[in-house]
Structure 1
Amino acid sequence: MPGNALRYLTSLCAALLLGGCMALNTPEEASTFWELRMNNPPAANSPAAAGGLIVARVRAEANLDTTAMLYREADYEPRYYARSRWIDRPTRQLQTALIDGLEAAGTADVILRAPTQLSARYRLETELLALEHDYRGNTPHAVLRLRVQVLDQDQRSVLASRVISLREPMTASGPGAGVEAGNRALDEAIERIRTVIVQALADAE
């Protein structure tokens, strides 16, 4: 009888431990992953520039070069969502979105992703300065801020340097609405970057 009781208690403990482990891994506790991507590519409305364009890797400070997703409820207090993350580092997703958008717009005759062994006359350098959901105020916003530079590698000169800052209203609170607003801001940012490049390359001719 004591042996049967011991086996019963052992089985009961194992079942409780298994149930606890399963509870820790319920879908409610799992992370949700989100994409930073272009939804509406800019239209091709200008001739492609000759000479090719290299899109460099996007730079960012360590707090932005991570899959953790930032939000802000008070000044000087950035925080990360507990269970919402980017599917890849925003810097990598931004580089892909820039290439796709600039190709769709016919910005240059050849667009290359850095690093590459191939050469091109022009180079786009981008730095991610801000990417967050801002809950200060009555309406939450997705914030996207980029510094872009267009370089002429043949002439070793900077053709253009701009800071592009966007605040897109969110339709609701929460990471999902923030990502949707952020992607709308990204569409606008790519259109503005295309305009900067086209104007800079035209002035360089």
Structure 2
Amino acid sequence: MSAIGLYVPGTGPLYRAPAWAKLLGLLAAGVALLAAADHRIALGALAASLLAYPVVGLAPARAWGVLRVLWPFLLAIALFQVLFGEWETAVRLCAQLAALVLLANVVTLTTRVREMLDLFERVARPLRHVGVAPDRVALVLALTIRSIPMVADAWRTSQEAYRARGLSGRPHLLVVPVIVQLLRMADATGEALVARGIDDDTRA
């Protein structure tokens, strides 16, 4: 089971909160973190985001799973900042990114997909006046949400194959297999949409 995924049934105040409130809170947290621009505050936010999982009833393993998928990107950011900037900036950026991804995953895991899509469709309704179909916006967002666990699964599968071949010390070799798997998934998704009559509007 992927640590990054879709709705996990549960109870509690966060589960009962409306989707708009959770997304607004996530936006506020992101703005506050970026505005503060302090590595100590960013580390505090990271610790709070890790504690949020057991507090809302989610297994701590889900939080560690998120970090396991994210660590190569965090490492790249940290190395670049340490080499060409300051270590405080490296700590701040990595902690900010990790905290926001963890919090976003909490929102995803505690919000039904249908509720999230209904919210986005309502928000997109004014765009009808400029020729944008709200249901298409909801479809794009649904595919985006679905791609989150797909990316995690592709990364995990590539890691397992990497270890099975006895490879080590060359994590860059994972990049191409992950991209190939994602392209295959995207191709399969496109074929499924076409088979169901959901395609672009380029037809005459």
TM-score (norm 1): 0.27
TM-score (norm 2): 0.27
Q: Which has the higher strand share?
A: 1
Q: Which has the higher helix share?
A: 2
